[in-house]
């Protein structure tokens, strides 16, 4: 017995509500998965950083902030 035939036999034995739930799940499963969010790349970090530090900082100043976060 093939997998498809076995699946059909199992679905035939299910109550209507459970068969519908299974078909709904299959329909959702067949949909292509969309990522939750798309990355905008490394340059987008600059805009994010400006939100919290409007004045430009040197690399040493950024490193100091990052190291403080590690402690």
Q: Is the pTM of this model over 0.75?
A: no
Q: What is the pLDDT of residues 1-36, one digit of tens each?
A: 899 999 889 888 899 999 899 889 888 888 877 776
Neighbouring CB atoms inside 10 A of 10's CB total 11
Contacting residues for 14 by C-beta, under 8 A, at least 6 apart: 22
Please state, in angstroms and rounded to a whole number, the distance separating the CA atoms of residues 71 and 58.
Answer: 21
pLDDT at res. 5: 92
Tell me the three state secondary structure of residue 38.
coil
């Amino acid at each position: 017995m093939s997998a498809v035939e076995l699946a059909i036999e199992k679905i035939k034995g299910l109550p209507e509500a459970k068969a519908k739930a299974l078909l709904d799940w299959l329909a959702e499963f067949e949909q292509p998965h969309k990522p939750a969010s798309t990355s905008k790349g490394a340059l987008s970090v600059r805009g994010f950083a400006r939100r919290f530090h409007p004045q430009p900082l040197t690399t040493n100043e950024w490193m100091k902030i990052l190291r403080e976060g590690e402690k």
